[in-house]
Structure 1
Amino acid sequence: LQQPEQRCLHWTRTDTEVPPNHLDLKPGLSLAVDFPDAEGLLETAIEDFRRLLTLTELPENGPVPCRFLQEDTGTNESYHLQVNADGITLSAKDTEGLRRGIYFLEYQLTGASGPALPFTDHHRSPWLRNRISRCFFGPIKRPPFNRDELLDDMDYYPDEYLNRLAHEGINGLWLTIVFRELAQTSFTKRDPLAEKRLEKLRRTVEQCRRYGIKTWLFSIEPRNLALDDPLLLENPEFGGAFAYTGNRCFCPSSEKGRQYLYESVFDIFSQVPHLGGLINISHGERATTCLSSIPATDEGPVECPRCSKIPKWQIHHHSTGAMIKGIKAANPDAELISWLYQPQPVPERGAWTYELARHLPEGVILQYNFESGACRKQLSRARLGGDYWLSYVGPSHSFSRVAEGVTNTQGELSAKIQVGCSHEVATVPFVSVPGLLFQKYQAMKKHGCSHVMQCWYFGNYPGIMNRAAGMLAFSNLEESEQDFLVELARPHWGQHAETVAEAWRLFSEAYSEYPLSNDMQYYGPMHAGVVWPLHLKIELAPLAPTWKPDYPPSGDSIGECLENHTLEEALLLAGRMQRKFDEGLLLLRDLRDAFRDDRERLLDLGVAEALGLQFRSAHNIFEFYWLRRELYFAANGQKAGL
């Protein structure tokens, strides 16, 4: 990913007559850029466009004008592309609109069947304003390794990697921070390592800006306080309800508590210019404010002398209200996304969750998991799932109710989804099911989403799913799913786009059969079944958690991953997945010779083959343990060999 992405033209029609209503490019383009760019932020995009023109081998400085201009096209990142007999004109209001337009024009060129473009008049603008992913290389600041990317000298954001992400429509990347490791306040001194962290953070911000990508901080703040924490001992009003860990939740219902939060974010955003904003888990994952003392499904009281006297939503309002004021005071362009991480696999939430959605501080964007509490019928029975599903389109009932509360009060809503892959199978770069993403984005638009967080620590590898998400963010979604898939495939697969689109359709149909079960995600064989040992004799060895790297291979306790499915049901669904996925693979295998010189497409084919093996292995594992069970239940004579 540090190397330039290999791009291949699919110009099968080069010397023939130009079709009617097309602009002939054979004489060569003459690029003229008349766009203000004092900081040079567009240099990377314009240079990339010049590289593509070199690839086309069209004459340089030809007679066909290609003009990049400034024009009031409406919202930020919007652009206007005109192709007619007079040439190509691309205009935008701001640098990021022109950048998105340049990438769109590049895809028109690589997707064409020859050196000609159809006459067109495109006005495009994003309905998803923030499209946030995470660096694929970035270390994870949590057990077992606890590595802080701001304390090492590794460059996790090489140019060509960022160039890929920018082409795929991503305009934000998040990384993890802790307030007390960066900020100096009237309550806390600056950490001895803070300046080192801040300096690298500044470099990261500026590097990503060159590709139109903002850096977002991710946190779970305010952090709960140990009973012997000096911050709590010196400021007892910071201590609120007891958390499930025995620590004290942070109470934001005092002036001093809100002042601490204000000063923390104000200092960080003052120290690091041009940050995109802060994504903060306000409820869930770990204890933060007094609101964290009750789960998402609970209506019980908050046992805090201050917070017990106010509505639960007001606790959230106090904390996020202080944060957004501090952020805006330091950087008026920065934003705050408050994330309610509520992954419980039940359809409903406490009434306070929906009240909270109707009472947001001005400027605070509320984020909710799009699929948490998922419910769908599989094999004639209702199944429930928790967070992070790509195979389930959504939204869940709880997301719909949160969305209703936000949009009915003119708030802004962000969907937390997984674009590339999810806990279902996270050992591949991505699962090529853009049709499911099309359906998911249709539902997101219908429910009023204007922002999206595209991944957690996984599901962020560059590729077809990222690109699909980027295209959908600028689409009115009025085209058919099939038309979208063909349009998505054409720049990379040329004349074979319809075949690839059909393969993707089959992959989506197959993936929709994934058993809707949290334990299937977290312990099942879809991730690494090819290396599971098979135990004919009963060992009752546990299954390994799929999200942790420091466990031995899975054992034979297959029931640990079944949860709300029987073994027979899991076997049946896995069989459906395997067979339908293999149908798609057959279509793609026939294309290997046609793309033998295209490394990127061969890698895509390899990922699809690997997934086919993993789904087949999962089916075989379920079948093996079903047969083992039948063998043990058989008459004694049939199992004497055991």
Structure 2
Amino acid sequence: MKTETFSIRIIRSPWSDFYGREIEDSVKNHPESYLKEIAEEGFNAVWLHCILRDIVSCKSFPEFGKKEKEQIPALNRMVERAAQYGLKVFLYFCEPRGFREDDPFWKNNPDVRGQSTEFHGIDPFSGRYYALCSSTQKVKDYLYESSYKLFKKVPGLGGVFMITASEFHTHCYSHYPKWRLKFADPVMEEWARIPFECKRCEKREPYDVVAEIITLINKGIKDAKKDAKVIVWNWSWYIIEPDPQKKLISRLPQDIILQGDFERGGYKKLLGKQLVVDEYSLSYTGPSPRFKKLFYLARKRGMATTAKLQIGTTHELVTVPYIPVPYRIAEKLYRMRKMGVDGYLGCWIFGGDISPMSKVAGKLSTNVSLTPSKAVKEVAIEEFGKEPAGYIVKAWRYFSDAWSSYPFSIPFLYSSPVNYATAYPFDLSAKEIEAIPSWLPLPRDKDGHLAVAGDNLKHWIKPFSDIFVQKAFKKLLAEWEKGIETLKEGKQYLKDPLYKKELDLAVHIVLIIKSTINIIEFYRLLKRYRKGDSKAKRRIKELLKEEIDIAQKDLEIIRSNNDLGYHPEAHEYFITEKDLTYKISFLQKQIKTL
């Protein structure tokens, strides 16, 4: 009799440092209390970022393996610690990792230099990179040998999951959309304009290149450890081949596990518009048409499948430990169960905090008969007690319904100030600036104050109008605030720290959304104010006073909740007491100039 819904249930520590000493500090960043809790909740694995050329040496490239002496022992210690709680460790591969154009590696190895690409506006990653051409025998040997050696040296590893398109520059087609050069979309337009330089790969099809890389890594791992799991994620595979990548999938070994984004490639209706969902999303339930096509192709070939989810947070709002919309994650898992999906990767770099969201996911992962509503109710009772749970469950329903009105777009998710809106310093002297990546450390001045003020609305409001985004958020707020009122009705429970924390989180999210609406309005008003519009001047003054009030309220909340305002991918706080205090003072001075 089946006792668990999903055999693969991977999550990630919110303290892991993706861009830093991820493996070296892995034991420190996975406290035993965290491992114990996620194991009890029903998860059975955690994941770490691994760069193959750093962690093991190889014959093809003697310069590789510089971090082997520190990383291999550290990884073995992490594997041993996880095993104490019945957890496996999976590694994230994005291989074969290329180098910057000026890296000394190319002086010694010009024969493996492949296609170039260039990244802009994403410091510290900006610049030109060259691929490690996988059509060369040296690179093929490296992929097999290093994968094999890694799993021999760390035999307790559970497996890997791979991204083989976009992200870091890897093989020659990782950022070159060969099949759609004549009709490249805006995201890939620049990549498509770069001339294809690799003479070895130009005669090959992208799907053959990717399938070969996957096969080499899979063979290396399986030759070292037969029961290791190799998961291949379809993230951005539309660069390689049109959806649903029939040719690529047909070339993969049957023991590969295919992973699809549960939401990406979906659509949702909002205020009469059809919105494209091209990222992780809690505002859209899924499965997307893209996921379903991948799933049925895998089933036809007899391949296992996993779904990529975000259990706690998404780029829709990252700087909270979780978005309290458990009915939405419960419905996702319920639909996955009905389809027969084998497992999931529960979060990317963020979204792995222990929370009611993770507890709901855990229950639905291990109980084959539990309904979404029953899972949510059980978690509410276990977390808050039987009587308070009545208010909590009702509020969560309002929050879950409200979140569907989120104005989803890639520019907004990646470049808007929503993750630090309550700390945003509205500046009357602001000029036009470029987009600021929302997933990297924020720019600050010499005194440590946020240096983000500037009109870059055109970069992140698209493809919508500013009015549309404001209307969508106001619609979201109208429903969300019903949930807050519901929690306040249980005033007798506000002395309970957990209950009060749930209310604080909900109010903090309201303040974030209100400030985002105000940021949009501010830059619209600023243009009119600079033309001498007296009505705009009065409204700006009112708006700045509103923002002082918002900052004061959020300051009180932040002081009591040190897990708010933190961005796990950027590995820093985007909203701090200092930021809010400075904003209040700064806006008071701004008002005096009006």
Please confirm whether the aligned pair reaches a TM-score higher than 0.5, indicating the same fold.
Answer: yes
- Provide the C-alpha distance between the structure 1 equivalents of 2:11 and 2:221, rounded to a whole number of angstroms: 21
Q: 1:349 to 1:257 in 2, by over 3 A?
A: closer
SS where residue 145 of structure 2 aligns? helix
CA distance in 1, matches of 2:271, 2:389: 33
Summarize the alignment of residues 594-633 of structure 1 with structure 2, pairs less than 5 Å apart. Answer: 594=493, 596-597=495-496, 599-625=497-523
Q: Distance in 2 between matches of 1:408 and 1:295?
A: 27
What CA distance in whole angstroms lies between the structure 1 residues aligned with 2:53 and 2:226?
A: 23
Correspondences of 1:453-464 after superposition (within 5 Å): 453-464=345-356
1:485 and 2:402 are equivalent in the alignment: no
Distance in 2 separating the partners of 1:215 and 1:152 = 14
Number of the residue aligned with 1:339 = 233
1:276 matched to which residue of 2? 158
- 1:215 aligned onto 2:89: yes
Counterpart for residue 173 of structure 2? 291
Cα deviation, residue 616, structure 1: 2.7
How far does residue 177 in structure 1 lie from its aligned partner after superposition? 1.7
User: Matched residue of 2:92: which SS?
Assistant: strand
Amino acid at match of 2:207: W
Per the alignment, do residues 316 and 556 of structure 1 end up closer, same or farther by CA in structure 2, a change over 3 Å counting? closer
2:471: which partner in 1?
A: 572
Structure 1 residue 585: Cα displacement: 1.1
The residue type paired with residue 432 of structure 1 is P
**Post-superposition offset of 1:312:** 3.4
Whether 1:200 and 2:200 are equivalent positions in the alignment is no
Larger RCO, structure (CA 8 Å, separation 6 or more): 2
Which of 2, 5, 10 does residue 132 from structure 1 map onto? 10
Answer yes or no: is the 8 Å Cα contact 2:266–2:287 preserved in 1.
yes
Mark the structure with the bigger radius of gyration. 1
Give, in whole Å, the separation in 2 of the partners of 1:554 and 1:400.
42
Among 522, 546, 559, the residue aligned to 2:458: 559
CA distance in structure 2 between the aligned counterparts of 1:239 and 1:621, rounded to whole angstroms? 45
Distance 1:542 1:288, change over 3 A: closer
Quick one: distance in 2 between partners of 1:296 and 1:446? 37
Partner letter of residue 125 of structure 1? E
Hey, what does 1:366 align to over in structure 2? 258
Q: 1:478 to 1:593 in 2, by over 3 A?
A: closer
1:467 equivalent in structure 2: 359
- Give how far 1:325 is off: 1.3
Give the 5 Å matches for 1:55-454.
124-126=3-5, 128-141=6-19, 147-151=20-24, 155-189=28-62, 191-224=65-98, 238-243=112-117, 247-253=129-135, 256-295=138-177, 298=180, 304-342=198-236, 350=242, 353-454=245-346
Contact 2:262 2:287 in 1 (8 A): yes
- Structure 2 unpaired stretches of 5+: 119-126, 183-191, 444-450, 539-593
Q: Report how far residue 155 of structure 1 moved.
A: 1.3
Alpha-carbon RMSD across the aligned residues, in angstroms, is 3.2
Q: Which amino acid aligns with 1:396?
A: S
Distance 1:154-1:624 versus aligned 2 partners, 3 A rule: same
Does the Cα contact within 8 Å between 2:442 and 2:452 map onto a contact in 1? no
- Return the offset for 1:350: 2.0
For 2:227 and 2:537, the matched residues in 1 are separated by 74
User: Aligned equivalents of 1:165 and 1:585: distance in 2?
Assistant: 28
What's the % identity of the aligned pairs? Answer: 28
Deviation larger for 234-243 or 599-608: 234-243
Aligned pair count reads: 510
Following superposition, the deviation at residue 502 of structure 1 comes to 1.5
Aligned to 2:399: 507
Tell me by how many angstroms 1:421 deviates. Answer: 0.6
Q: Distance in 1 between matches of 2:101 and 2:438?
A: 34
Q: How many Å apart are 1:472 and its aligned residue?
A: 2.0
Alpha-carbon distance in 2 for matches of 1:198, 1:472: 35
Alpha-carbon offset, residue 610 of structure 1: 1.6
Q: Scaled by the length of structure 2, what TM-score is found?
A: 0.77
2-structure distance, mates of 1:318, 1:525 = 41
Q: Which residue of 2 aligns with 1:587?
A: 486
Q: 8 Å contact 1:342–1:369 — kept in the other structure?
A: no
Distance 1:391 1:488 in 2: 21
Distance in structure 1 (CA, Å) of the matches to 2:290 and 2:178: 11
- Please, which moves more after superposition, 414-423 or 521-530? 521-530
Cα distance change, pair 231–366 in 1 and its aligned pair in 2 (3 A): farther
Output the amino acid matched with 2:94.
I
> What are the superposed Cα offsets for residues 88-118 of structure 1, whole Å, 9 maximum, x if unpaired?
xxxxxxxxxxxxxxxxxxxxxxxxxxxxxxx
More strand by share: 1
Task: Work out whether residues 218 and 280 of structure 1, in 8 Å CA contact, stay in contact via their aligned partners in 2.
Answer: yes
Question: SS of 1:415's equivalent?
Answer: strand
Q: Deviation at 1:332?
A: 1.8
- Asked if the contact 1:188–1:231 (Cα under 8 Å) also holds between the matched residues in 2, the reply is no
User: Unpaired segments of 5 or more residues in structure 1?
Assistant: 1-72, 75-123, 142-146
**2: CA distance between counterparts of 1:640 and 1:457?**
42
TM-score calculated relative to the size of structure 1: 0.72
Q: Following the alignment from structure 1 to structure 2, what is the Cα–Cα distance between the partners of residues 619 and 271?
A: 53
* Structure showing the higher helix proportion among its residues: 2
Distance 1:574 1:254, change over 3 A: same
| Cα-to-partner distance string for 1:130-161 (whole Å, 9 max, x where unaligned) | 111211111232xxxxx213345971122112
Greater CA deviation, 167-176 or 231-240?
A: 231-240
